[in-house]
Structure 1
Amino acid sequence: MSSTEAPLSQREILGTYQQMQREIQGMIQQLTKIEMERNEHALVEETLEPLDPDRRAFRLVGGVLVERTVREVLPTVKEHKVNLDGLVKTLKENLDKKQKDAAAWKAKYNIKTQEEVDAASRQ
Structure 2
Amino acid sequence: MATTTATPAQQPLLSQAAVVQKYRQLTQECQQLMSKVAELEQERNEHKLVEETLTPLDPDRRAYRLVGEVLVERTVKEVLPSVKENRENLEKTITTLRERLTERQRQTAEFKAEYKLQ
Structure 2 length-normalised TM: 0.90
Separation (CA, whole Å) in 1 of partners of 2:41 and 2:104? 19
For structure 2, which runs of at least 5 residues remain unmatched after alignment? Answer: 1-5
Q: State the 1:4 CA deviation.
A: 8.1
The whole-number CA distance in structure 1 between the counterparts of 2:115 and 2:11 is 16
| Structure 2 counterpart of 1:50, one-letter code | P
**Aligned pairs (5 A) from 1:1-123:** 1=6, 6-112=12-118
Deviates more, 1:86-95 or 1:5-14: 5-14
1:6 deviation in Å? 3.9
Aligned to 1:115: none
Query: What is the count of residue pairs matched by the alignment?
Result: 112
Provide Cα deviations, 1:64-122, integer angstroms capped at 9, x if missing partner: 0000000000000000001001001001000000000000000010001xxxxxxxxxx
CA distance in 2, matches of 1:63, 1:95: 32
What letter corresponds to residue 68 of structure 1 in structure 2? Answer: R
Whole-Å Cα distance in 1 between the matches of residues 21 and 43 of structure 2?
33
Give the letter for the 2:99 counterpart: E
Determine what percentage of the aligned residue pairs are the same residue: 50
The whole-number CA distance in structure 1 between the counterparts of 2:66 and 2:46 is 13
Letter in 1 for 2:107: D
List alignment gaps of at least 5 residues for structure 1.
113-123
1 or 2, which has the higher helix percentage? 1
What SS does the aligned partner of 2:57 have? coil
Give SS of 1:111's match. coil
1:121 alignment counterpart: none
